[in-house]
Structure 1
């Protein structure tokens, strides 16, 4: 089966591969995008068994794709889950705590890319201190009342 379409005026045929080239990995409706936000795309790499970034939050939504390995992902109010190479993930950012993004495997590295919509003048990542974690422990999935 040919993917070529004749071009007008005797030019080379044009490809039609674009018609089937798109695969949707995820769709999301983020709750907000900070006014004046700028986009930042980063690659994050953790060695085998690394716990990843301590609990943190982002000023805006973040959309990612695991390139290699497996990420243990946990967001406030959601159960932890494993995101494998080729799978996409997202988080709403803002006030939501991102508890885990560590390497779920101790035999291979984890590599993922994330595009974040960052609030101007605010760091793209802010660590959450132990006091706030204690105050919000009831918001963590499966938490028992104190």
Structure 2
């Protein structure tokens, strides 16, 4: 989503060029769990890494791929590749996060993610094989 935000203030006393600011992504304010803790993580996936098994988060996550390519899949959405310079969003909660793999076999993928989670609870909550089977109809068709 692209929104019109004021990201620059004129500085008549400046002796250098102004900062360059580029809106990469924008989403409506997320539903944040009560007692939330905000974490910023730098994640490095080795070449070919499958990432984490299917899981969920207690709150929303907003991320940005620094380098490489992330194979990303959320419940109800087709898998997609997020490349360096692109952002991703997930609402967390009950939604299953199926994939967060490195799409490159010969290079690392690095991304930063900001997560709002319930304090004292794990950041990643594994999803059982039984639940995956029970919710199979909610997963988008795979290529």
Give the structure-1-normalised TM-score.
0.84
Question: CA offset at residue 14 of structure 1?
Answer: 5.6
Point out the structure with max Rg over C-alpha: 1
SS in 2 for 1:132: helix
Q: Aligned equivalents of 2:48 and 2:29: distance in 1?
A: 30
Q: For residues 48 and 36 of structure 1, do their structure 2 counterparts lie closer, same or farther at Cα, with a shift above 3 Å needed? A: same
Q: In structure 1, what is the equivalent of residue 47 of structure 2?
A: 48
Q: In structure 2, what is the equivalent of residue 70 of structure 1?
A: 69
Moved over 6 A (4+): none
Q: Aligned equivalents of 1:14 and 1:94: distance in 2?
A: 47
Superposed, which structure 2 residues align to 1:21-100 within 5 Å?
21-29=20-28, 31-100=30-99
Of the structure 1 ranges 83-92 and 31-40, higher mean CA displacement relative to structure 2 is found in 31-40
Counterpart contact for 1:48–1:108, Cα < 8 Å? yes
Question: CA offset at residue 142 of structure 1?
Answer: 2.0
Question: CA offset at residue 16 of structure 1?
Answer: 6.2
- Structure 2 residue runs without a partner (length 5+): 1-9
Give the structure-2-normalised TM-score.
0.86
Counterpart contact for 1:71–1:103, Cα < 8 Å? yes
- CA-atom RMSD in angstroms: 1.8
- Structure 1 residue runs without a partner (length 5+): 7-12
Q: In structure 1, what is the equivalent of residue 6 of structure 2?
A: none
